[in-house]
Amino acid sequence: MKHLQNVYTFILVLACLSIIGLIYFGYTSNSISTRNKEERSCFKPQKEHQLQSPHGLSYNQPSAVGPDGKVVPLAPWLAPIVQEGTFDPILIDSIYKQQNITIATTVFAVGKYTRFLKDFLESAEQNYFVGFRVHYYVFTDHPEQVPAVKLSEEHHLTVLTVPSSNRWQDISLSRMARLEKLIESRLFNEADYIFSLDVDSKFYGRWGVETLSPLVGVIHAWFYGEPRNKFTYERRPESQAFIPSNEGDYYYGGAVIGGLVKNVYRLVKTCREQLDIDASKSIEAVWQEESHLNKYFLYNKPSKLLSPEYLWDDTKSKPDQIKIIRFSQVIKNYKEIRPNP
């Protein structure tokens, strides 16, 4: 009898241990598989930063100007419109200082446009990403005319020789293809951000890290108060740059294109492809690559917009609502400066 009791106790203990074991292993194997899932999800490929919107979407034109006549601080897809008063230079500099970034800056000075380089570079050295690493890439057909401007310690300059051209339109148009090649061959390795800027311009005020974002466009000084049907978009449907009169957010200046190298690469490659299609049909968009840029920005929204403070025009007087002019096109005699009328 006692022997039988011992057997029962033994079986009971064994059963209890099996149940405890099952619960334990069930729990741990469960948590291991959950953890594996979590670990796997860490390796999910990150999406590229893109703010795409569909063609033909019907919505009201966003106003760049508020009822007080001042430029508004946000686009309706919640991208900031950078302007005086929207950022603290001390704070924003200190944040970006931690990031050890390089800003590639491309500028084309072909034919007589080399004369603009001195003022452009000297004024940039006073105002442009002061205290941050900048690498200028100057595309020119006259390398000997690139002035020896004293650069600050963290600023560098590379001269890249390109052929001359008899048509100013070709010089302007070819920028997309040249940027595409430069990014492929060097900038993916050499820079974090890139700005492409017009050389016939001068800096008058700070241009710093407040302008950095994945994709950056500038609102053109001549159009920021205009209705979209007045924008000088390409209106011929035969062109790849075509925008219908009931579409459009802002008119962006071709003088400033910026962002992360990867995002700008996608932009210049797309625009170059569109330009090639136009060229194969012998169509040249009304404002050359600026028209294609506007088309791109309409359906691929910039993550940050620069107010016209960042692209003014010396021929245009400053209204009170614009607090400061930071970068502006200098006055030039088109007839004298361009290779063709």
The three-state secondary structure class of 184 is helix
Q: What angle do CA 334, 337, 340 make, to 5 degrees?
A: 80
Task: Judge whether 303 and 213 are in contact, CB under 8 Å.
Answer: yes
Alpha-helix residue ranges (DSSP H) falling in the chain? 2-42, 89-97, 117-127, 168-173, 175-182, 188-190, 261-280, 288-299, 334-337
CB count, 10 Å around CB of 182? 23
Should residue 234 be labelled a site residue for ligand UD2 when binding is judged by CB under 6 A?
no
Shortest CB 326 distance to ligand UD2, Å = 14
Should residue 312 be labelled a site residue for ligand UD2 when binding is judged by CB under 6 A?
no
Task: Judge whether 228 and 196 are in contact, CB under 8 Å.
Answer: no
Shortest CB 154 distance to ligand UD2, Å = 24
Cβ nearer to ligand UD2, comparing 96 with 117: 117
Cβ nearer to ligand UD2, comparing 254 with 302: 254
Of 208, 254, 258, 308, the one binding ligand UD2 by CB under 6 A? 254
Cβ nearer to ligand UD2, comparing 96 with 327: 327
Q: Which two tokens stand for residue 288?
A: 């050359």
Handedness of CA 44, 50, 55, 57 (dihedral sign): positive
Should residue 255 be labelled a site residue for ligand UD2 when binding is judged by CB under 6 A?
yes
Site for ligand UD2 in 287-306 (CB under 6 A): 287-290
| Contact map string, positions 164 to 203, toward ligand UD2, x by CB under 6 A | ----x--xx-------------------------xxx---
Tell me, by CB under 6 A, how many residues bind ligand UD2. 22
Of 111, 208, 259, 302, the one binding ligand UD2 by CB under 6 A? 111
Residue 100 region by backbone torsions, left for phi larger than 0, else alpha for psi between -120 and 50, else beta: left
Question: What is the DSSP secondary-structure string of 265-306?
Answer: HHHHHHHHHHHHHHHHTT---TTHHHHHHHHHHHHB--SEEE
Q: Which two tokens stand for residue 318?
A: 């400053």
Should residue 207 be labelled a site residue for ligand UD2 when binding is judged by CB under 6 A?
no
Task: Judge whether 247 and 221 are in contact, CB under 8 Å.
Answer: no
Shortest CB 279 distance to ligand UD2, Å = 15
Part of the chain binding ligand UD2 (CB under 6 A), chosen from 45-53, 57-65, 85-93, 247-255: 247-255
Length of the chain: 341
Q: Is 290 a catalytic residue?
A: yes
Should residue 105 be labelled a site residue for ligand UD2 when binding is judged by CB under 6 A?
no
Rounded Cα–Cα distance for residues 119 and 125 (Å):
10
Q: Which two tokens stand for residue 317?
A: 């007087």
The three-state secondary structure class of 157 is strand
Should residue 219 be labelled a site residue for ligand UD2 when binding is judged by CB under 6 A?
no
Should residue 217 be labelled a site residue for ligand UD2 when binding is judged by CB under 6 A?
no
Cβ nearer to ligand UD2, comparing 52 with 340: 340
Which residue is it, tokens 């710093």? 208
Of 64, 103, 110, 306, the one binding ligand UD2 by CB under 6 A? 110
Should residue 308 be labelled a site residue for ligand UD2 when binding is judged by CB under 6 A?
no
- Classify residue 233 by burial, with Cβ atoms within 10 Å: 0-12, 13-18, 19+: buried
Cβ nearer to ligand UD2, comparing 96 with 257: 257
Shortest CB 138 distance to ligand UD2, Å = 10
Shortest CB 74 distance to ligand UD2, Å = 23
Instruction: Name the helix (H) or strand (E) containing 103.
Output: strand 102-109
The one catalytic residue in 226, 290, 309, 336 is 290
Shortest CB 48 distance to ligand UD2, Å = 25
Q: Which residues bind ligand UD2 (CB under 6 A)?
A: 108-111, 113, 168, 171-172, 198-200, 253-255, 287-290, 311, 329, 338-339
Give catalytic residue positions.
290
